[in-house]
Amino acid sequence: MPPDNGHYLVAAYIVAGVIYLGYTVSLMVRGSRARK
Amino acid sequence: MTADPSRANPVITRGMVLTVLALAGVAAVMMLAVRYTPIEVNQGLAQKIFYIHVPSAVVAIWLAVPMTGLASILYLWLHDPRLDRFAAASAEVASVFCLVVLTTGPIWGKPIWGTWWTWDGRLTLTLFLFFLLLGYQTLRAAIREPLERGRFSAVLGIMGLVLIPFIHLSVYLWRGLHPKPVVLKPSEPSLPPEMLHTLLIGFAVFTVLYIGFVTLRYGIQLAQDLREAADAA
C-alpha cells in the first residue's frame, strides 16, 4: 500500500505553477509595455 | 542601422506565443503525471513531483546556465551586444527554473527523506548556483555603463558554467540523500515506460518554456536598448 501523501504533490504543483505563471505575467506585462 | 524600438515587436510576439504554448504543455505534463503514470509503491503520490522537479532541474542546469556561460565566453571574445542580451535573458530564466527546483525539491524531500532540507552536496551547490544567478542580476542592475556591465556579468555567467560539473558529479563525489540520475547516466534509463515517456515529454515541454521565456525576455531588453539608442541619437 503506497503512503498517503498526495497533499505534497498538490503543494508542489501549486508552487511550481505560481512561480512559472507569475514570471509569465511579469514578462507579458513588460513585453506589452515594451511594444508600445 | 536605425534604432527603431518597433524592431523588437516580432521577437516579443514570438516569445509570448511560445510561452503560452509551453505553459499549456506544462499543464498537460501535470495531467499526464497524475492520470497516466503509475503510483510508485514506496513513495506514493509525492513521487509524481519528479515530473516537474527533474525537467526544471535539467533545463536549469544543462541548458539555461550552460547557454548563459557560453554566451558570456563568446561576448568576452566578440563584444557583440546580442550575446550579452541573450546571456542576461538566459540567466534570469535560469534563476526562475532554479527557484522551482529549490522549492519543489524540499516538498518532495519532506515525505520521502523526513526533512525539508539537508546540506547534501547536490542541494547545497544548487543553492549556491541560485545565489550566483541572483548576484548576476543584482550586478547588472547596479552597473549603468553597457560595456562594463557586459564584461563583469560575463565573468559571473562563466562562474555559473564552472559550477555545473560539480553539481552533476556531487551525487557521486559526496555521500548524501539526493538520488543518483535515473535517465542522464551512461547505462539505460531505469524507469518504467509510462514514467519515462512522461519525463521525456516534460523535458521537451520545459525546453520550449525556456526558449519562450528567453525569447520574450530578449525582446524586452532589445526594445529597451533600441529606445535608449533612439533617445541618445
Using the beta-carbon criterion (under 8 Å), do A5 and B9 form an inter-chain contact? Answer: no
Residues B16-46 have pLDDT tens digits of 999 999 999 999 999 999 999 999 888 999 9
Residue B72 has pLDDT above 70, yes or no: yes
What integer pLDDT is reported at residue B63 of this predicted model?
A: 97
Contacting residues of A for B223, CB less than 8 Å apart: 34-35
B184: confidence class by pLDDT, cuts 50, 70, 90: low
Q: Kindly give the parts of chain A with pLDDT less than 70.
A: none
Residues B124-166 have pLDDT tens digits of 999 999 999 999 999 999 998 999 999 999 999 999 999 999 9
What integer pLDDT is reported at residue B101 of this predicted model?
A: 97
Q: Which three cell numbers stand for residue B38?
A: 503509475
What is the rounded average pLDDT for all residues in chain B? 92
Q: Which residues of B touch A (CB under 8 A)?
A: 5-6, 8-9, 12-13, 15-16, 19-20, 23, 26, 30, 34, 39-46, 48-49, 52-53, 56, 96, 99-100, 103-104, 107-108, 110-111, 209, 213, 216-217, 219-220, 223-224
At residue B118, the 3 state secondary structure works out as: coil
* Cβ atoms of B62 and B127 closer than 8 Å: no
Residue in chain A lying closest to B224 (CA): A34
Which residues, 6+ apart, have CB-to-CB distance to B163 below 8 Å? Answer: B65, B125, B128, B129, B132
